[in-house]
Amino acid sequence: MPYRAPVADIRFLLDHVAGFPELAATARFAEATPDLTAAILDGAGRLCEEVMAPLQRVGDLHPARLENGIVRTPPGFAEGWRAIAQGGWIGLAAPTRHGGMGLPQTLAMAVTEMMSGACLALQIAPLLTQGQIEALSHHASDALKALYLPKLISGEWSGTMNLTEPQAGSDVGAVRTVAVPKGDGTYAITGQKIFISWADSEFIGNVVHLVLARLPDAPPGTRGISLFLVPRNIPDASGDPGARNSLRVVSLEHKLGLHGSPTAMMDYDGATGWLVGEPHRGMAAMFTMMNNARLGVGMQGIGVAEAAFQQALAYARERRQGATPQGGAIIGHADIRRMLAAMRAEIFAARAIALSCAVAIDMADATEQADWAARAAFLTPIAKAHGTDTGVEVASAGVQVHGGMGFVEQTGAAQYLRDVRVTPIYEGTNGIQALDLVGRKLADGGEAAWRLLEEIEQGAEAARALLPEPAGDVWAAAETLRETTEWMLTQDQTDRFAGAVPFLRAWARVLGGHVHLAAARAEGGAGPRTALARVFVARLLPEHVALLAQARAGAAGLYALSDDDLAA
Ligand SMILES: Cc1cc2nc3c(=O)[nH]c(=O)nc-3n(C[C@H](O)[C@H](O)[C@H](O)COP(=O)(O)OP(=O)(O)OC[C@H]3O[C@@H](n4cnc5c(N)ncnc54)[C@H](O)[C@@H]3O)c2cc1C
């Protein structure tokens, strides 16, 4: 079943649930008219269906490989990248003064979702380049911006993100790569990085690495890390790729999935780099890139979920097995219908949460109001973790719907599961996202959380006349969530951390109920979106009760089992 870009669902959510009309009414984003938004989504949808989706299986069957020091990508990926670049898709939300379109991140995120559903392994390349554009726009010197941004935005060059080292994964503060001033304003970068996505390719004019490293006088930990721009080829006087820099791809990883995307070990051997932002303030600069990428990775999960769902639905409509109440194909079996309905309801909720997060990011930009920034910050770890968990769960359910044909490779159902499995791991594991939620994101005393809970309860009140039962359930769920959020604020760090993941998941459940209710209201309380909302509220929302019980269970019980007890 060929991938179909979910343009209609995205449009509906933007217009009726995520608050896009309010965003388009700001002076900053006045250009994002309904006509332009429709043209952008339709155009991106076509590119995804016609150019990117045919590359999905190719990437799996012809993995990226290293050949005499050159990274060779799967057949068709070069043309795919060029189509993305020439369509202007990389610079959709990039600054206009450097050649971007200056449109809302929300639209760029919607496009990210569709591209990920079409071909995740290729989509990572523009995602990282966009993150780099964002980081350079905010933190680089004017000279670096003028030289690099136009080429990154046009897709002539691509960008990477180099944080991870063998001893520095989640603990980025353990980075050992060093940067020594050369006395001419540049730095010599030496060290080893691992797991670097799209570190090189045979078809890109130049690859620009953003590298975390330590200056000689750096204090230990994250407060001593600086950010450097290190190009594969040092630009010459006219800005074209010049002499080769002292860096190389040592090897490519063999992975569970995502075979089309090269994941490299990199060696920097006194490579020339330029400081981005202030010395020792590299994490702050990198966070600009990571926040963008976190939401983008959430979108990746949702995109793959959508593609896996479409394929499972098509299979369920064709496959005949056993007698169903309606006769016909397996879609008539209650259990298959349960899975398909839950998959669709879950995708709808995750997409709405992620788009609401994107709108909050844009509103913060457009209005410079702290409330919007706090809302965006609170929703980002939820959108990342829940979007990617949804990717894995829906792709796994997709395999289940296929039965044995899901476990063999020719249907492609298994590839979705293998490919998406990394999304809860990279860009900060989902465990780390949850720690961020119960740590930094509640550090303001829960201001953003209380505002969201108020909004959920107001939404439920407004829906009560039209949809009394689901509205009552969502309202009650918000109250239960409020109690546990209050509890979280009074606990010590170990107990908060022990409950962080179920707490984040419970938030996603309750927000899911809220966005489904809003969609059902927009439809007048009758129709397919209302039926889907009822499925979510009846079958998925109740999970918040068990999740919140886990969230409040504390750490003592976990540590009562010693390391040896676990091994016994
Ligand atoms: C395909 C792929 C592509 C990647 N692309 C890039 C890239 O382009 N650039 C880049 O820099 N990196 C990249 N990465 C690296 C990725 O970001 C890391 O794998 C990730 O941050 C986790 O680090 P780790 O693998 O060292 O795991 P670890 O940090 O060792 O984590 C192991 C487990 O311990 C948990 N854990 C760790 N610390 C804590 C804590 N404090 N509290 C609670 N639990 C904790 C984690 O959640 C995880 O479950 C990529 C990885 C993969 C697999």
Give residue 472's pLDDT.
98
Give residue 319's pLDDT.
97
Ligand 1 environment, Cβ below 6 A: 160-164, 169-170, 195-197, 255, 258, 263, 422, 425-426, 429, 431-432, 435
Q: State the Cα–Cα distance between residues 94 and 133, nearest whole angstrom.
A: 7
Give residue 286's pLDDT.
81
Residue nearest ligand 1's atom 17 by CA: 426
Give residue 325's pLDDT.
80
Closest CA to 533 of 560, 509, 515, 555: 515
Query: Which helix or strand (DSSP H or E) is residue 65 part of?
Result: strand 65-67
∠446-449-452 over CA atoms, to 5°? 155
pLDDT lower than 50: segments of the chain: none
pLDDT in tens, 216-269: 999 998 899 999 999 999 999 999 999 999 999 999 999 999 999 999 999 999
Give residue 71's pLDDT.
98
Whether residue 483 contacts residue 547, with contact meaning beta carbons closer than 8 Å, is answered with no
* Separation of CA 333 and ligand 1 centre (Å): 40
Best mutation site among 120, 123, 176, 195 for ligand 1 pocket (most ligand atoms within 8 Å of CB): 195
Ligand 1 atom closest to the Cα of residue 253 is 1
Cα 44 to its chain centre, rounded Å, is 18
Q: Which residues of 253-376 form beta strands (DSSP E)? A: 263-276
Q: How many Cα neighbours within 13 Å face the side chain of 530?
A: 14
Burial of residue 225, with CB atoms counted within 10 A of its CB: 0-12 exposed, 13-18 middle, 19 or more buried:
buried
Give residue 339's pLDDT.
98
